[in-house]
Amino acid sequence: MVTFQNYVLGNWINGDGVETQLFNAIDHSEIGSVSSAGIDYEKVLEYGRRVGGRALRKMTFQERGRMLKALALYLMERKARYYEVSAWTGATKVDSWIDIEGGIGNLFANASLRRQFPDLPYYVDGTAAPLSKNGTFIGHHIMVPKEGVAIHINAFNFPVWGMLEKIAVNLMAGVPALVKPSEYTCFLTEVVVRDIVASNILPEGSLQLVCGLGRGILDHVDTRDIVTFTGSAATGKILKGLPRISEQSVAFNLEADSLNATILGKKAVPGTAEFDLFIKETVKEMTIKAGQKCTAVRRILVPDEFIDEVQTALSARLASTVMGNPSEEGVRMGPLATRLQAERVRASVDELAKSQKIVFGALDDFEIKGSNARREAFFPPVLFRNEDPFQHTACHDIEAFGPVATIMPYKELDDAIELAKMGKGSLVSSIVTPDNQEARDYVVGAASMHGRILVLNEQCAKESTGHGSPMPLLTHGGPGRAGGGEEMGGKRGVLHYLQRTAIQGHPTTITAITEQFQVGAEMPEANPHVFRKHFEELVVGETVFTHKHTVSDADIVNFANVSGDNFYAHMDATSLEGTIFERRVAHGYFILSKAAGLFVDPKKGPVLLNYGIDEARFTKPVYPGATIGVRFTVKEKIDQEKRSDEDIPKGIVKFLVDVYDETGETVALATILTMVKKLND
């Protein structure tokens, strides 16, 4: 019998004895056993903080992003093995694809976030705040990685995605992880972690794994740590309420299962493309992963005049869903993950049946395809109908975590909004409608009780990822029953693992800390010109003070001829009455163009190209006769990896363009983005 192991303190180890025996969901054959008994969690957490955390905090965001990308590519090369093991959970190929490649996709998505962060181990948040009259005292914010461990307690339904979507974020932030998957499906997580450890891509200590029950895993957390929990709301609340969590002020992110609703808009009448989309999407969300998704559809809200047509269409489509061994041709839905899950779903269905009617699904008389498939973990799709969901409210309180949903009528859209909110907080809801006003009314009315809302119509259907698919660059979570937590969320998710700290001081000091030039800081004159320097030689703050140019009427006329911009303020001095201008004014884009002529050193050198302008502002009118100059300052440097051996080694340099007039006042500001060659590979 195989014993699935834990990876802690840099070693693969067995727990004491056997805590849980593991079974194949399809044929109920024994897979092996697992235990985490005897693990010293105090040492495990301290190892993560001391070994993994220190290593990750030394890396910049760019290095962490490249690390995640390398890991994603490594795992993609080995995904065939993960599909084999995933089949033991009863997953179809589509179910496994969501779990495995969806999880790896989170690594890719978070790796791409490196472009939104500086080439530093910490993040500079927002812009500087002026705190003094003369500008010698300013404030800013930085965000540094928390110095604890991210403890992830995951549910049974997504053994790969559940781990990777979380660690992608904390690793990008520079925080190590201790992952505790469900003991029932940990065998798949263990296979993936073995490959991650073998790859040597992650620093040692940045990922540890507990495959057993994990009893005592939260006994030694402290204020430096972050706990995330995915699973039932009841269990999550128990863990969140542990004295250790409150006493140590431990950050706790709870993402709980919820009673998600899908709404058929009143304008999506039978016969429309949207009506057909609604039927297809609803059945998909009931049956993918056999309904074992925290985002699955549990409540189906339809206009009362369409409820019979919807029931008939859903029943017909559910009847065509073949259940059985996913390896068999034509099977579209496998078993639940374990016999225990099937028993729990049956208990919830029995409770729901006390107040509403089953209109599709035979609990004790259903077919499963596959000669070796045993009935222990299989559960058929069940569709309830609730004629009065405002009075019979069990459907808003009881979740059957399987292929079970309740169809219910509503009269007006406001009723649908109220019914959706009766779930007491959901991860997701969706509305299918061809009418944008109907969509807007639902979204604005229902958003306060939902973490995500999908608006589906014919225009986006081909590329829509669907009701049940949270995306790595968007927040996944929800209020109330859904736990009040947030996961993923792109850059927002990374910031959850960072500590924001306000810093105050002289602009020169703040420049040195942030490695971003702050207005008012010292500006040592560049010698030679910054365009003659390679990436490594440039220093944040060094400045080119350019020659000056006096703007003339001829400049304005010539620029208008070249650009075709004949806006009246530039070309018609007789039309300025009632405007803010005293006389004809130079084009803002002429000022920037002339600034480039002043600050550019034209000879061939390390600067490869300018590829953009950010944050351009025209702060003061420039009239003929004004004399302008430019302070051209190295603002920020960002390292860039080579994409191939033939690629030119280079980095990104942001330059602040500060155009000023003869009074010394700034008339225009912009940041230009350049690629600058490195001295070395």
DSSP 296-331: SEEEEEEEGGGHHHHHHHHHHHHHT--BB-TTSTT-
Token reading at 36 = 């985490």
Question: Please, what is the end-to-end C-alpha distance for the chain in angstroms?
Answer: 51
* Selected catalytic residue, list 274, 294, 486, 542: 294
* Strand, helix or coil for residue 638: strand
* Strand, helix or coil for residue 418: helix
Cα 28 → chain centroid? 36
d(CA 664, CA 661): 5
Torsion, Cα 91 95 97 99, to 10 degrees, reads -90
Rg (CA), the chain: 30
User: What one-letter code names the amino acid at 300?
Assistant: I
Helix crossing, 307-319 with 273-287: angle to 10°? 50
Residue partners of 602: CB distance under 8 A and separation at least 6: none
Would you say 207 and 179 are in contact if contact means Cβ atoms under 8 Å apart? yes
Among the listed residues 337, 52, 44, the one whose alpha carbon sits nearest the alpha carbon of residue 214: 44
* Selected catalytic residue, list 255, 281, 285, 542: 255
Looking at residue 642, its pLDDT comes to 80
Strands 2-4 and 30-34: parallel
d(CA 79, CA 167): 18
Torsion, Cα 75 78 82 84, to 10 degrees, reads 170
Continuous H helices in 87-232: 93-112, 161-173, 186-199
Looking at residue 681, its pLDDT comes to 65
Task: List, for residues 327-370, the tens digit of each pLDDT value.
Answer: 888 899 999 999 999 999 999 999 999 999 999 998 888 888 88
Q: What are φ and ψ of residue 157, in 5° steps?
A: -80, -25
Q: How many CB atoms lie within 10 A of CB 93?
A: 13
Residue partners of 179: CB distance under 8 A and separation at least 6: 152, 154, 163, 166, 167, 189, 193, 207, 208, 209, 210
Give the containing element (helix H, strand E) for 228.
strand 226-231
Token reading at 11 = 């070693």
Cα 603 → chain centroid? 44
Looking at residue 576, its pLDDT comes to 87
d(CA 27, CA 563): 74
Among the listed residues 163, 64, 76, the one whose alpha carbon sits nearest the alpha carbon of residue 116: 64
For the chain, list the domains and their CATH numbers.
Answer: 41-257+492-498 (3.40.605.10), 260-470 (3.40.309.10), 523-677 (3.10.129.10)
Give the containing element (helix H, strand E) for 54.
helix 54-58
d(CA 214, CA 179): 10
Would you say 206 and 171 are in contact if contact means Cβ atoms under 8 Å apart? yes
CB-based burial label for 243 (10 Å; 0-12, 13-18, 19+): exposed
Among the listed residues 669, 679, 555, the one whose alpha carbon sits nearest the alpha carbon of residue 618: 669
d(CA 295, CA 488): 15
User: What one-letter code names the amino acid at 239?
Assistant: L
Q: How many CB atoms lie within 10 A of CB 274?
A: 21
Q: How many CB atoms lie within 10 A of CB 43?
A: 12
Would you say 264 and 302 are in contact if contact means Cβ atoms under 8 Å apart? yes
Q: Using the structure block, give the residue that is written with the tokens 């520079």.
A: 174
Token reading at 442 = 């639902």
Looking at residue 453, its pLDDT comes to 95
Known catalytic membership, residue 460:
no
Q: What is the mean pLDDT of each run of 10 residues along the chain (681 residues)?
A: 91 91 90 93 97 96 95 96 93 92 94 90 94 94 96 92 95 97 94 96 97 93 94 87 92 90 96 95 94 94 96 95 90 91 93 95 88 84 96 95 96 96 94 96 95 94 90 89 87 94 97 94 94 94 96 94 93 88 92 94 91 92 95 92 84 95 95 92 65
d(CA 679, CA 251): 44
